[in-house]
Amino acid sequence: MLSERHLEVVLAVVYEYIKTGEPIGSRTISKKFLKDRSAATIRNEMADLEEMEYLYQPHTSAGRIPTPKAYRIYVDAIMRRQRSFPADSDGWMRELRARRRDVEEALGYATRLLGKITNYIGVAALGPASETVLQRVEFVRMGNRTVLILLVLKGGLIHHRTVVLPCDMTQDNLDELSRRVSTVALGRQWKDVRGILQAYVEDALERYADSCRAAIAEMDLILTEQPFQFFTGGTRNVLGMPDFSDLGRLQAMMGLLEEDESIGQLVHGCSAEQGLCVTIGDENPVFQMRDCSIVMASATAGGRRAVVGLIGPVRMDYERSISVLEGILGTLSDNNESEEGGL
């Protein structure tokens, strides 16, 4: 449906428009990209493309601007090619590698890095651990009935939460509780043991059955809800973004970045499929983002599923964005094991 000739024009327009931000005229294309065709010829083709909704004119006698459909074509073309990581950010990458020990910190750093390198907004989400296996359980008495629950998961993830139990327990009681829980649950999948835990614990602590039940319920909550964790970096760069049609929209979008849920939604789409995925403008599920494009990719870091991405204007430097993201992802992810024998 789209001839080779037409395709060439679309790609040229998108490429040039990304670079300049100005509407592109037929003359420019003819001179810079397709020297074997005159401006008039290009003009005819452009008219066709406009009919097909790959290009549009803001007004007669202005050049053409690519539509989302055109960006799509462009991005697909890019993805087929091989890219190389921009070399200029070697020092940063070392920094990032140094932080790999702590996944959360690494992801935070990665988003800030993405922001800095690309001038767009870096986002990341850290999914639940691939296996929910307890490595350590502690209950620490903080006040009358206030107890701190401390869970160390295999892989190094730590959860803690303060809860109020229905009845008072001494630290000795709590130690007994954690001993019992440990006996049953350590080194095993949580989902396999939580059912049988209650009975075994009450065996020794029946006087505190209520509190034990509450504690175990809370543990279950912590371990099964396992929400995504989110990171953003370079938020300031929204300001450098397109003359957003409307300031209100921009504000709405920034609002999203503060609310984890909506990022979750974004991530969700991507985390399903493996590899890199680019969402352009209104392809986006979250309507506040319809003026943005998102480049996302998932990886496994520290044994957990992670999604790292970039949010930028639709008129984004996709080529660069993608290669930067790939570079960071490579440094971050587990299969790039190197140095130190840890774990």
Chain residues that interact with a copy of itself, rule: CB under 8 A: 101-102, 112, 135-136, 138, 140, 142-146, 148, 150, 152, 156, 158, 160-162, 164, 233-240, 247, 250-251, 254-255, 257-258, 340-343
49 binds, among DNA, a copy of itself, none (CB under 5 to 8 A by kind): none
* Contact residues for 267 (Cβ-Cβ < 8 A; gap 6+): 125, 228, 296, 307, 309
Residue 161 C-beta-side C-alpha neighbours within 13 Å: 15
Q: Binding to DNA by residue 63, rule CB under 7 A? A: yes
What is the chain's Cα-based Rg? 26
221 binds, among a copy of itself, DNA, none (CB under 5 to 8 A by kind): none
CA 332 vs CA 135, 187, 302: distances in Å: 24, 27, 9
CA 12 vs CA 25, 100, 260: distances in Å: 11, 40, 38
Q: Binding to DNA by residue 243, rule CB under 7 A? A: no
AA identity, residue 28? T
State the nearest-atom distance from the C-beta of 250 to a copy of itself, in Å.
6
CA-nearest of 60, 58, 65, 80 to 10 is: 65
**Which x/- pattern over 1-40 shows residues binding DNA (rule: CB under 7 A)?**
----------------------x-xxxx-------xxxxx
Q: Binding to DNA by residue 221, rule CB under 7 A? A: no
Q: Binding to DNA by residue 80, rule CB under 7 A? A: no
Taking CB under 7 A as the criterion, the residue among 9, 54, 64, 321 binding DNA is 64
19 binds, among a copy of itself, DNA, none (CB under 5 to 8 A by kind): none
Q: Return the range that interacts with DNA (CB under 7 A); candidates 57-65, 71-79, 147-155, 162-170.
A: 57-65
State the nearest-atom distance from the C-beta of 12 to DNA, in Å.
12
Q: Binding to DNA by residue 41, rule CB under 7 A? A: yes
Contact between 16 and 30 (Cβ < 8 Å)? no
CA-nearest of 105, 194, 212 to 149 is: 212
Look up residue 64 and give its DSSP letter: B
Strand order of the sheet with strand 146-153? Answer: 134-141, 146-153, 158-164
Instruction: Tell me whether residue 87 or residue 239 sits nearer to a copy of itself (CB atom).
Output: 239
Q: Which of residues 164-203 bind DNA (CB under 7 A)?
A: none
CA 1 vs CA 7, 12, 68, 131: distances in Å: 10, 18, 17, 48
91 binds, among DNA, a copy of itself, none (CB under 5 to 8 A by kind): none
Give me the residues that bind DNA (CB under 7 A), please. Answer: 23, 25-28, 36-41, 43-44, 46-47, 50, 57-64
